[in-house]
Amino acid sequence: MPKPKKRGGNHQRGSGGQPRNVQPFSDEDASIETMSHCSGFSDPASFTEDGPEVDEEATQEDLEYKLKGFIDLTLDKSAKTRQAALESLKSAFSSKILYEFIMERRMTLTDSIERCIKKGKSDEQCAAAGLACLLCVQMGSGIESEEIFKTLGPVLKKIVCDGTASIQARQACATCLGICCFIVTDDITELYSTMECLENIFTKAYQRDRDTNGVSSTHNTVLHISALLAWTLLLTICPMNEVKKKIETHLHKLPSLLSCDDLNMRIAAGETLALLFELARETD
């Protein structure tokens, strides 16, 4: 499944100094841009000479100034400040396409995300994993994105498999791992390695330490669900010979999860089974 590679411009690292009194990114920042873009599709006859004008260049510069400040603050000594900066960047990246801005600062962002996942606590790790997803979504597939995943992939896998990490952080990293791999990777070996990591997590729900309903009952259920859904997403881009192996391994085991007390697990198992049956039909 080769993907076309497009190399972007040379990257630049973010500005060094830490800004003070930087206001958090808000919906208002996005709404100004949204209004200006929407006006471009409006009927020209609807404008009057006295109507307000939006300086798009100034608005973009103001937005980028704020984002540069947030990127710098991801290196702050305060965990609360770092987390707030990550959340603000997530809000911005989910509100507006910022490809050129991100392309120039992708390595700085990647370094910050890696540091926050490695050294941060649960909430900070979750925010960093969420930002990593949006970073890959913004970048799309390509050589630069693969470089990002080569850096973050091992860190995400380590947290997913770390029994001492919080369930919330492991859950967020499992989701991030699946999404980023789906978007970015063109390496079949990396795809299989990522799927194996996720498989090692959700198959623990098959274990025999079961409750009266016949299904494993642990506090790890939310993690198993996230790993299963991420694995299912990656299954859709697997070569057919690998799909056949997965069908043989899991088709007779997944139905047991349909009796789980957790509704979300039942839904996830049902969706995965539906996909397996669909893929099995295509292999015939």
Alpha-carbon distance of 231 to 175, in angstroms, equals 9
| CA contacts within 13 A on the Cβ side of 210 | 13
| Cβ(7)–Cβ(143) below 8 Å | yes
In this prediction, residue 18 carries a pLDDT of 45
Tell me the C-alpha distance between 257 and 259, whole Å: 5
- Give ∠ CA 178-182-184 in degrees, rounded to 5: 115
Compute the chain's Rg from CA coordinates. Answer: 22
* Look-up of token digits 């510069």: 61
Residue 74, SS3 per DSSP: coil
pLDDT of residue 13: 40
d(CA 76, CA 109): 14
**Token couple for 120:** 């941060």
pLDDT per residue rounded down to tens, the chain (284 residues): 444 444 444 444 444 444 444 455 554 444 334 333 333 333 334 334 454 556 788 888 899 999 999 999 999 999 999 999 999 999 999 999 999 999 999 999 999 999 999 999 999 999 999 999 999 999 999 999 999 999 999 999 999 999 999 999 999 999 999 999 999 988 999 999 999 999 999 999 987 445 545 444 467 999 999 999 999 999 999 999 999 999 999 999 999 999 999 999 999 999 999 999 999 988 76
Q: What is the pTM of this model?
A: 0.78
Pair 216, 202: CB distance under 8 Å? no
Neighbours of 127 (CB within 10 A): 26
DSSP 88-124: HHHHHHTTS--HHHHHHTHHHHHHHHHHHHHH--HHH
